[in-house]
Amino acid sequence: MLFASTRATVVRELGSEKFSGTVFATDEEEILSEEVWKEREADENVARGGSGNTIAGGVNDAEQRRQDVMGEQEKALDAIRRAEDEARSMSIRRDIGIGGTVGADGTADIKGVPFPLGEGVQEALQRLENEEGMATLLGIDIPTETLTLRSIESNVAPASLSGLMPNSTPQYTFYRYPKTSALVFVYTCPSSSAIKERMLYASWRRGTLSMAAGLGLTVSHKIEASSPEDITEKRLQEEIDPPRNEGPQRGFARPRRPGR
């Protein structure tokens, strides 16, 4: 405890600019072994955005060591995290990005990447343009990897929207909020859903939005949730019309003069 609490003080007094890094070790071998130093340098290079030393298959050795110590569940969760990160940065192969066209055959082709659409998907989305309270529910058919239409629901009240979302599988929901021009996109991904489902839905999220934009839709609000229960009427209302901080409701009271 004493060494840990005084370490920063020692470095500061000696001049922190004189030290290029800090090594924490629990065993003498970690300091004496040349191999450990090489591994540590490779890890630091990866952390700084470098590639590390590359081994067969194009995987750097630092990343390979990290994978080796993971269990199967950890590897699966790591794969989902990577898919979500790549989807957000729009760098994954299946993420079709911004722009492009939608062909008459039901295939959205953006930057040369095919994005298969099931029957009725385009028509259902286009109906959202003029129907208040309409919800279009989309899913991915895993075996064929096709975006499919699950159902179209009319006159859906905000309080009832979550009831249209499954608890065991992800879903994309487009919802035209009643009495407004707002079009809400809701992506629900329950933690109990299958690993491959979560990976595909995460990587196709941006592509689905881009495809909708290619059909002329303007999504004004986007919500992500791990459970349909999170999509409450209150949350939707706050998304459409955020509460305003108007401060105290009563006016400023001038202080009384002394003696009064």
pLDDT tens sequence across 4-41? 777 878 887 888 778 877 777 777 877 888 877 777 77
Q: Which two tokens stand for residue 239?
A: 């998304």
Average pLDDT on 114-127 reads 86
Average pLDDT on 83-93 reads 49
Residue 109: per-residue pLDDT: 46
Residue 244: per-residue pLDDT: 72
Q: Which two tokens stand for residue 211?
A: 């495809």
Whether the per-residue pLDDT at 192 is higher than 90: the answer is: no
Residue limits of CATH 3.40.20.10 in the chain? 101-240
Whether the per-residue pLDDT at 175 is higher than 60: the answer is: yes
DSSP state letters, 94-142: T---S--EE-TTSEEEETTEEEEB-TTHHHHHHHTTT-TT-EEEEEEET
Q: What is the mean pLDDT of the chain?
A: 77
**Residue pair 198/189 in contact by the 8 Å Cβ criterion:** yes
Q: Which residue has the higher pLDDT, 93 or 235?
A: 235
Amino acid at the residue 11: V
Average pLDDT on 229-252 reads 77
Residue 105: per-residue pLDDT: 46
* 101-240 CATH: 3.40.20.10
Residue 125: per-residue pLDDT: 93
Average pLDDT on 161-169 reads 95
The least confident of 3-7, 145-149, 175-179, 217-221 is 3-7
Q: Which residues fall within 8 angstroms of residue 223, CB to CB, at 6 or more apart?
A: 184, 185, 186, 187, 231, 235, 236, 239
> How far is Cα 253 from Cα 150, in angstroms, rounded to an integer?
59
Which residue in this structure is represented by tokens 């199967």?
A: 72
Residue 35: per-residue pLDDT: 79
Q: Which residues fall within 8 angstroms of residue 95, CB to CB, at 6 or more apart?
A: 86, 87, 203, 204, 206, 207
Question: What is the pLDDT confidence band of residue 158, given thresholds at 50, 70 and 90?
Answer: very high
Q: Is the pTM of this model over 0.85?
A: no
Q: Which residue has the higher pLDDT, 251 or 185?
A: 185
Whether the per-residue pLDDT at 199 is higher than 90: the answer is: no
